[in-house]
């Protein structure tokens, strides 16, 4: 036995277990980086969807306004033509 109380076989077993733990940690860190990248992609996609939703919200407001304004102008032209024809 060595001075620290472990036999060479026990030390080898401990070193093997440490190596396994290090490998497992490296694999988990790699998986974590993959998940972080995926979360970044999902956040980017969510931002795009929010921007599109905002655009559609603006369009659903302004489209009816444009239609109503157009109808108002058409009515004004029709009324003007009728007025000119009657006078």
In a domain, 80, yes or no: no
79 within domain boundaries? no
1 — pLDDT class (breaks 50, 70, 90) = very low
Task: Please give the tally of structural domains in the chain.
Answer: 1
* CA distance linking residue 49 with residue 41, whole number of Å: 12
User: Does the structure show a pLDDT above 70 at 2?
Assistant: no
∠ CA 68-72-78 to the nearest 5 degrees?
145
Task: Print the domain residue range for 3.
Answer: 1-61
Considering the domain boundaries, does residue 42 fall inside one? yes
Do residues 48 and 54 lie in contact, with contact meaning Cβ atoms separated by under 8 Å? no
Residue 73 lies in a domain: no
What are the tens digits of pLDDT across the range 11-30?
Answer: 999 999 999 999 999 999 99
Model pTM greater than 0.75? Answer: no
Would you say residue 30 lies in a domain? yes
For the beta carbon of residue 10, count every other beta carbon within 10 angstroms.
13
Structural domain includes residue 71: no
CA angle 46, 52, 58 (to 5 degrees): 140
């Amino acid at each position: 036995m060595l001075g620290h109380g472990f036999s060479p076989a026990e030390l080898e077993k401990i070193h093997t277990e440490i190596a396994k733990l290090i490998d497992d940690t490296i694999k988990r860190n790699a998986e974590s980086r993959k998940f972080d990248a995926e979360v970044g992609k999902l956040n980017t996609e969510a931002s795009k969807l929010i921007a599109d939703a905002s655009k559609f919200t603006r369009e659903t407001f302004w489209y009816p306004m444009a239609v109503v304004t157009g109808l108002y102008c058409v009515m004004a032209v029709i009324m003007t033509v009728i007025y000119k024809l009657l006078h």
